[in-house]
Structure 1
Amino acid sequence: MNEWRIYQGVGEPHDGIERLPAPPPWRDFGNSRDDVTHFDREVPTQGRHRLPNAAAYQADERTIEAVNTALYLRRPLLVTGDPGVGKSTLADAVARELKLGAVLRWPVNSKTTLRDGLYRYDSLGRLEEAGVRKHQTLEEKQSTAVSLGQYVSLGPLGTALAPYSLPRILLIDEIDKSDIDLPNDLLDVFEEGGFEIPELARAADQHETVMVRPADRGAKIAVPRGIIRCRAFPFVIMTSNGEREFPPAFLRRCVRLQLPAVAEDESRLRAIVRAHLPGADDHAEKIIELFMKRAATGELATDQLLNAVYLMSRTVREGAPSLDALAKLVLQHLNVTAPAES
């Protein structure tokens, strides 16, 4: 075992995260508060937070080194590559191996704002409550008192920045599709390791500490005087399909990883097929050969290969589609500039 590696890329869960050394002084967000938030470190086996492909993920040396560099430096990991190379699944693989529970997922589009990731405040619900309470007697008000935290829920980024003793794992998916301002907006949050919820800060004299709901429906999080600040900086993976460039100030604060097209590595394709579909080797070789041939003329993703291998292994009966027919069904090019299908 390589001792410096916290994430080994072995796929099996272990307690390596407990060997993670103290952060650099400029990335130390520790504080003296007693209210540490706990989270469930068990890997979900069902429901929307389960990690279906994590055990079969095949991490190469460069990926393992980049993950550990980001863990040590407490910096976000910006992962760039074609669709289907495993950018998003990497977050699941790290969560499973290091036993860091459910991945907090934040899918991004052109309308996404920083606040979407931090928190939501139900101002209408709060206004309705104020209108009702205005007409109540003192006794009624005391019997129907509602916590201010009922109107606040944290987003995936806000939850990741809660004061956990171990890093949560946050996936910011397809950040290259975001509005041009979002990467720069993220810088302040990443540098400070926290943020303010103004609606709670304004009420701090009456409600010094408010309990709010996290994005993963776990234990409620204590927010003193409207401020959330992490203890352990989260392990953040930001994925990009390379559709845009990012500002230098953003890039220099990230650990960057460029994942090569999987179709360029035949041995890796075999390993992926074996991990996901044990026993399918008899059908895989010809399909991998066909996959690589077609990938040379247009964009394909590894899940298409897995679909083709699975389908071929299940359709051996009379009348099943031929290999060429299978290619037209499943191995269709993703990019519109690829040559027309024949």
Structure 2
Amino acid sequence: MPLWPVYTGTNEPHDGITELPPPPPWRAFDGGPPLPSPDATADAAAVSPDRTHRAATYRATEETVQLVNAALYLRRPLLVTGPPGTGKSSLVYAVARELRLGPVLRWNITSRSTLHDGLYQYDPLSRLYAARHTTAPADSGIEDHLRLGPLGTALLPYERPRALLIDEIDKSDLDLPNDLLNVLEEGQYEVPELIRGARDTPVADVLVHGTDQRVPVERGRVRCQAFPFVVLTSNGEREFPPAFLRRCVTLRLRQPDDARLADIVRAHFDEEPDAYAQSLISRFLSRVGGGDLATDQLLNAIYLARSSDLGADSLDELAERLMPYLGEAQHTDAF
């Protein structure tokens, strides 16, 4: 019988991803030839110590576990919304670590981001310069000036799904969510520059995102075999087209309650919150309704309380300065 849940939220790495049932018939992909998945032990080298720590200490709610598994089973992107500091981007690192999906591919979205940026980057000027200093055919060597982007790499025909973070999609141009629809629906894309050179180079070895590894691309066409685990994060600053939302599994993260905050503190500091830490948790929760606060702010205040010899009054004053409402750096209301 297939395993449910595949992602458990326990932070214990395992190979349960191999027990996923076949995809729905309308989400089956047949890309190839298959590529071996990156070694999961490369995670620590691929991301910062901060991301590694957050992946190991992430605390998933029951709703998060259920909807992550729904996205994995259905081979659908997971759209994660919620206030800043609720762990939206940390989630993908935790899932990749537990399921041994290898290093997370990350695409940070700005107002200038385009679909092309996510798929691949091609530098025609460097190729033109190289052509002036070689006698090679005009359409040869294209692969030396082309690198797949995070989305383009995630859609390669890996044996296991890659993990892809498309961070802060609501910062994008209005057209980007619609532009993503076809690629995420079809699980494939084309590289016109390689298609044009396919007569001379039917198989091009191109660089992938984030490493110096090269992978073969046949006749400029890429199609996934295992649909990647795609997490798109949003701070809820804009609405998305219905067609885009229909193709995603949507998870809304909320500010954690008292018990979950204590669990988060316990995970980060590897011990029970002491009396002062518990008082900071209570104060943090009492302020949540007045504006946006991030869990990071609470963790910073608790760390300094544990690591300094300041008195209670000084600690209270410092904690207040460390936990202003986000976007209101000059906010001075007391706890």
The normalised TM-score by structure 2 is 0.92
Q: Contact between 2:13 and 2:100, CA under 8 Å: does it hold in 1?
A: yes
2:308 is the alignment partner of 1:307: no
Which residue of structure 1 lines up, in the alignment, with residue 234 of structure 2? Answer: 240
> What is the identity, as a one-letter code, of the residue corresponding to 2:179?
D
Residue aligning to 1:27: 27
What is the letter of the counterpart of residue 14 of structure 1?
Answer: H
CA distance in 2, matches of 1:297, 1:335: 12
Q: In structure 2, what is the Cα distance between the partners aligned to 1:206 and 1:15? A: 41
The residue number in structure 2 matching 1:137 is none
Report how far residue 232 of structure 1 moved.
0.6
Query: Which residue identity does 1:109 align to in structure 2?
Result: T
Instruction: Say if 2:119 is the partner of 1:114.
Output: no
Alignment pair present for 1:153 and 2:147: yes
Tell me the number of residue pairs that the alignment of Structure 1 and Structure 2 aligns.
329
Select which of 326, 329, 333 maps to 1:334.
Answer: 326
Q: Which amino acid aligns with 2:97?
A: R
CA RMSD across the alignment: 2.2
- Structure 1 residue 184 and structure 2 residue 178: aligned? yes
Secondary structure, counterpart of 1:102 in structure 2: coil
- 2:8 corresponds in structure 1 to 8
Confirm or deny that 1:267 pairs with 2:266. Answer: no
Letter in 1 for 2:258: E
CA distance, structure 1, for counterparts of residue 269 and residue 83 of structure 2: 22
Counterpart code for 2:30: G
Superposition pairs of residues 71-82 of structure 1, within 5 angstroms: 71-82=72-83
- The question of whether the paired residues in 2 share the 8 Å contact of 1:209 and 1:223 is answered with yes
- For 2:224, which of 215, 219, 230 is the aligned residue? 230
Equivalents in 1 of 2:58, 2:188: separation in Å?
31
Are the counterparts in 1 of residues 324 and 332 from structure 2 also a CA contact under 8 Å?
no
**1:128 counterpart residue number:** 129
1:97 matched residue in structure 2: 98
Deviation string 1:21-47 (CA, Å, 9 cap, x unpaired) is 11111111114x435354222252245
CA distance in 2, matches of 1:236, 1:19: 19
Distance 2:65 2:290 in 1: 30
Identify the residue that residue 277 of structure 2 maps to in structure 1.
284
Secondary structure of residue in 1 paired with 2:60? coil
Q: How far does residue 146 in structure 1 lie from its aligned partner after superposition?
A: 7.2
- For the 8 Å contact 2:144–2:206, the answer to whether it is kept is yes
Q: 1:49 to 1:164 in 2, by over 3 A?
A: farther
**Following the alignment from structure 1 to structure 2, what is the Cα–Cα distance between the partners of residues 323 and 8?**
38
Provide the residue aligned with 2:158 in structure 1: 164
Unaligned runs of 5+ in 1: 135-140
Match of 1:133, SS? coil
Contact 2:140–2:197 under 8 Å retained in 1 = no
Which is further off, 278-287 or 95-104?
278-287
CA contact 1:161–1:233 (8 Å) conserved in 2:
yes
Amino acid at match of 2:119: L
The SS at the match of 2:41 is coil
Aligned to 2:316: 324
> Per the alignment, do residues 293 and 322 of structure 1 end up closer, same or farther by CA in structure 2, a change over 3 Å counting?
farther
Q: Which residue of 2 aligns with 1:298?
A: 291
Code of the aligned partner of 2:27: R
CA distance in 2, matches of 1:164, 1:18: 13
Please tell me the residue identity of whatever aligns with 1:25.
P
CA contact 2:191–2:221 (8 Å) conserved in 1:
yes
Q: Does 1:40 align with 2:39?
A: yes
2-side partners of 1:47 and 1:160: how far apart?
Answer: 15
Gap change, CA 1:47 and 1:199, over 3 Å in 2:
closer
Query: Is 1:201 matched up with 2:202?
Result: no
Alignment TM-score, normalising by the size of structure 1: 0.91
Runs of 4+ off more than 3 Å = 46-50, 318-321, 335-342
Determine the C-alpha separation between the residues in 1 that align with 2:147 and 2:285: 46
* Paired letter, 2:286: K
Shift of residue 321, structure 1, vs aligned partner: 6.0
- 8 Å contact 1:40–1:101 — kept in the other structure? yes
Please name the residue that 1:138 is paired with.
none
The Cα shift of 1:98 comes to 0.3
Q: Partners of 1:318 and 1:187 in 2: how far apart?
A: 54
Taking the aligned partners of 2:36 and 2:287, their CA distance within structure 1 comes to 50
C-alpha distance in 2 between matches for 1:188 and 1:25: 17
> Do 1:37 and 1:221's aligned partners in 2 also have CA atoms closer than 8 Å?
no
